[in-house]
A = this chain, B = another copy of it.
């Protein structure tokens, strides 16, 4: 399989398991492919390059948002989907069957498998068993690479560049899988990172060190107000009540991590607000009408990125 350049296409047949697998050149290539997918959808709604190709969407935990995005991506490429997106736990797939057996069964029917699984490492285990490409749609506290890719694509698409940007991550930085993966990806670029969280939800030390080792300028703070006037990107996440043993502390803190129209008045005019969604109060709905609110455009980019990856791993561009 070769690209337009005559070189073999690096993406064909690849599994998409972790953000760590991509170098900057590959990321740039994925984003170019994503641009093309966006153009196709805008101009014609979709294409049929994946006609007669079948995706098995195997979701061991429900995630309507992610499964809908992959399903739409496959359908807009002209492909078909076997949706195994709900209740897998009750079905024959899990009648004591091992994950490798389930995967080896599904690859008889499908040309590509998207897997969501509650256990870290499941995606790698599946990829090892499979002879078709496996796309990791989240494996527990592990990775969710397509989310990180769509986040990075959104920054680049909205602001026209990655290098030189000031980016703040806000909220639950300790457990937030999306923040971890995005931080890793951003470490490949020349960016300044601010981490804004309550003390007990600070970014894990290893990730902090990874970013520093990559030469990034990083800082930490407790309040969005400290950074709002400087940043190009404000990446919001949920601060979940369940993380706190001291509920008074939660009540005291949560207001520090809510974006309001008032707060947005202090922000730069060309910055953007992102959120992996769903939100449960971190961004006031009144902010939605602000052109800097990029989170729904971010959702749409998820579909474009997944289209690029599905077409790419199946060698159809």
**Chain A contacts to B: CB under 8 angstroms:** 44-48, 51-54, 56, 62-66, 68-69, 71-72, 75-76, 78, 80-84, 86-88, 90-93, 95-98, 100-102, 104-106, 108-111, 277-280, 285, 288, 296, 299-300, 302-303
Q: Which residue of B lies closest to A279 (CB)?
A: B101
Contact yes or no, A108 B75, CB < 8 A: no
Given A62-B91, A92-B65, A109-B69, residue A46 in contact with residue B52 (CB < 8 A): yes
Hey, which chain B residues are within 8 Å of A80, CB to CB?
Answer: 72, 75-76
Q: Which residue of B lies closest to A297 (CB)?
A: B108
Contact yes or no, B64 A93, CB < 8 A: yes
CB distance from A177 to the nearest CB of B (A): 13
Contact yes or no, B101 A277, CB < 8 A: yes
Hey, which chain B residues are within 8 Å of A106, CB to CB?
Answer: 68
Hey, which chain B residues are within 8 Å of A111, CB to CB?
Answer: 45
Contact yes or no, A278 B110, CB < 8 A: no
Contact yes or no, B96 A278, CB < 8 A: yes
User: In the complex, which of the residues B44, B68, B278 contacts A52, with contact meaning CB atoms closer than 8 Å?
Assistant: B44
Contact yes or no, A62 B296, CB < 8 A: no
CB distance from A69 to the nearest CB of B (A): 6
Contact yes or no, B64 A92, CB < 8 A: yes
A96 to B45, CA, bound (A): 31
A47 to B285, CA, bound (A): 41
User: In the complex, which of the residues B48, B100, B109, B296 contacts A72, with contact meaning CB atoms closer than 8 Å?
Assistant: B109
Hey, which chain B residues are within 8 Å of A46, CB to CB?
Answer: 51-52, 54
CB distance from A236 to the nearest CB of B (A): 13
Contact yes or no, B62 A97, CB < 8 A: no
A110 to B299, CA, bound (A): 12
Hey, which chain B residues are within 8 Å of A98, CB to CB?
Answer: 285
User: In the complex, which of the residues B102, B108, B277 contacts A105, with contact meaning CB atoms closer than 8 Å?
Assistant: B277
A47 to B52, CA, bound (A): 7
